[in-house]
Every structure is written in structure tokens, then in C-alpha cells.
Amino acid sequence: MKTVADYMNDPRILNDPDMAKALEPIREIHAIRLMLQDERAEMSPEEEVEYLNKKAEEFLAPMGKTLCYDLIGQGKLNPGVSVVQNL
């Protein structure tokens, strides 16, 4: 598997005139996006969802958090109801 450093030297970045003028963090973000795009290029939509969920679980695990897959009934807005949070 290629690293971000490998993608920084990828022809898609090196041969792009706009990337030559871009700041280093912008080129690095572009390299990361290319890496993610290549990782998921051959995946079906179902495989991509499974891959992304696994990555999210791996990211959240060290913080002791988990993904909530059961969102039935959540997310409904009640117009005119204000929410006050006590700090």
C-alpha cells in the first residue's frame, strides 16, 4: 500500500500546474484524497460502506466511543422549540 509520501510524488500531483503553485498542506490534502480514492476504486457500494464504517470504528475505539447504527426516530426537528444547554 502506498503512503501519503508516495502520493506526494505521484504524477497526478507532480504534473498538475495548479498543484505546483499550491501550498504544501494543500498538496498533502490532495495526496490523501488520491490515496483514499485509489483504496476504494474497485469496491462496490456495499464494500465501501463496510470499509468506511470499519475505519470510523477504528478511529473511535481509542476514545472509548462506538458508532450508533440505530437512528430510528432521531433527528426530527421541532420548530419553535429552543434548546438550552447548562454548562
> Which pLDDT band holds residue 83 (cuts at 50, 70, 90)?
low
pLDDT of amino acid 40: 87
Q: Is the pLDDT of residue 5 over 80?
A: yes
CA-to-CA distance for 31 and 12, rounded, in angstroms? 9
- pLDDT by residue (tens digit) across 39-69? 888 899 999 989 888 999 999 999 988 877 6
Q: Show contacts of 3-7: CB within 8 Å, 24+ apart.
A: 3/35, 4/28, 4/31, 4/32, 4/35, 7/31, 7/32, 7/34, 7/35
pLDDT of amino acid 11: 92
Q: Is the pLDDT of residue 12 over 80?
A: yes
